[in-house]
């Protein structure tokens, strides 16, 4: 199995190192000091499950890699529309694109069925720009439950979690999902094939839609947000509104808000990916988290006043941080 990791940051390098350790033909595509470090010393993973080093091929030139069986997208979702020149050399007729993104994916209504079949969400696929680059037919959904940080170039700190749930937009259990699951599990990761991955998308989103923007607005860790009474109540309300939208779309999360908060508190003083991006001066990945759910709320007629308020505040933060 040949796997190209496009955007081999903290999550991408972690997955690539695990797959390489299991014997897959892995190629990491990155840039800058992180690429230089991986070329020289490989990927060093520091984990409570055991440290290890893997030395997959690393490059900044996708043409050097050529077509792969799977392209694991470690890019932020707001980079997808512009990634055409990078991903094109990696594709052949049956290449699957595994997008390890947070939030609502561009393929969400592809083969969804029902009244929303084929609908495009402007917030995640503006003008169809993402679908033009990443054909929904190639998409294998992936929901990441692992928390990682790039401690320094070439060194990934694995904080907790090893689950990467995968699934087809049409809800089938496909041979390509089964093959990917087997390779991931051989590398020491959990990788269940979910018949309806959209339920997992909403489960993960329940935390991301609340903790990520709030963490950036108040510069707080997961534990700090959970322990502050007022902030915790805002997060609870955001989660309740999100669950209402998910229910309107026929999805079942299956986890209570209190349990979701308890799990987040247990993570401790972990900084969300949005807070990390803010601190590093990177664009904030909020459209697929907040704007998408506000758009879905408009489609389904579900009132989400708190989500709208936090979206307005965090959208201004994103604009100011990008200036």
What are the pLDDT digits (tens) for 119-175?
A: 999 999 999 999 999 999 999 999 999 989 899 999 999 988 999 999 999 999 999
Q: Which residues pair with 150 in a beta bridge?
A: 156
Edge-to-edge, what's the strand order for the sheet holding 52-54? 52-54, 43-46, 155-160, 147-152
Q: Residue 323: is its pLDDT beyond 80?
A: no
The confidence band for 322, taking pLDDT boundaries of 50, 70 and 90, is confident
Mean pLDDT of 190-206: 96
Residue that terminates a domain, selected from 152, 176, 195: 195
Options 76, 204, 266, 282, the catalytic residue: 204
How far apart CA 108 and CA 97 sit, in angstroms, is 14
| Stretch among 23-27, 45-49, 62-66, 75-79 having the lowest mean pLDDT | 75-79
CATH number of 243's domain: 1.10.1040.10
pTM over 0.75: yes
Q: Which domain holds residue 28?
A: 2-195
Which has the closest alpha carbon to 194: 227, 170, 229, 221?
A: 170
Q: What is the CB neighbour count within 10 angstroms for residue 313?
A: 15
Q: How many domains does the chain have?
A: 2
Residue that terminates a domain, selected from 195, 214, 246: 195
Quick one: pLDDT at residue 288? 92
Q: How large a percentage of the chain has pLDDT more than 70?
A: 100
Residues 98 and 134 in one domain: yes
Residues 123 and 70 in one domain: yes
CATH number of 17's domain: 3.40.50.720
pLDDT digits (tens, 9 = 90+) for 244-303: 999 999 999 988 999 999 988 888 888 888 998 999 898 998 999 999 999 999 999 999
204 as an active site residue: the answer is yes
Residue that terminates a domain, selected from 169, 195, 221: 195
pLDDT digits (tens, 9 = 90+) for 95-119: 999 998 899 999 999 999 999 999 9
Quick one: pLDDT at residue 273? 86
Q: What is the CA radius of gyration of the chain?
A: 19
Residues 130 and 249 in one domain: no
Residues 243 and 295 in one domain: yes
Q: Residue 229: is its pLDDT beyond 90?
A: yes
Residues 121 and 6 in one domain: yes
Residues 11 and 160 in one domain: yes
């Amino acid at each position: 199995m040949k796997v190209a990791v496009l955007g081999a940051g903290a999550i991408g390098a972690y997955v690539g190192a695990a797959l390489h350790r299991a014997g897959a033909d892995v190629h990491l595509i990155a840039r800058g000091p992180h690429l230089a470090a991986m070329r020289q010393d490989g990927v060093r993973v520091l984990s409570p499950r055991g440290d290890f080093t893997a030395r997959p091929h690393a490059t900044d030139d996708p043409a050097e890699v050529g077509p792969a069986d799977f392209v694991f997208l470690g890019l932020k979702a707001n980079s997808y529309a512009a990634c055409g020149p990078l991903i094109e050399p990696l594709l052949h007729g049956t290449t699957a694109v595994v997008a390890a993104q947070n939030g609502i994916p561009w393929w969400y209504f592809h083969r969804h069925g029902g009244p929303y079949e084929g609908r495009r969400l402007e917030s995640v696929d503006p003008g169809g720009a993402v679908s033009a680059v990443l054909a929904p037919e190639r998409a294998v959904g992936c929901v990441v439950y692992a928390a990682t940080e790039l401690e320094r170039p070439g060194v990934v700190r694995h904080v907790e979690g090893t689950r990467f749930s995968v699934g087809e937009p049409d809800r089938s259990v496909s041979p390509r999902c089964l093959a990917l699951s087997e390779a991931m599990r051989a590398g020491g990761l959990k990788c269940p094939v979910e018949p309806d991955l959209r339920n997992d998308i909403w489960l993960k989103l329940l935390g991301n839609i609340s903790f990520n923007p709030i963490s950036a607005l108040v510069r707080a860790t997961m534990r700090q947000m959970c322990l502050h009474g007022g902030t915790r109540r805002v997060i609870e309300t955001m989660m309740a509104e999100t669950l209402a939208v998910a229910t309107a779309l026929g999805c079942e999360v299956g986890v209570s808000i209190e349990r979701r908060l308890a799990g987040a508190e247990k993570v401790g003083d972990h900084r969300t990916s949005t807070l990390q991006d803010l601190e590093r001066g990177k664009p904030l990945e909020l459209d697929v988290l907040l704007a998408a759910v506000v758009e879905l709320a408009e489609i389904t007629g579900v009132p989400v006043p708190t989500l709208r308020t936090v979206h307005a505040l965090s959208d201004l933060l994103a604009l100011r941080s990008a200036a």
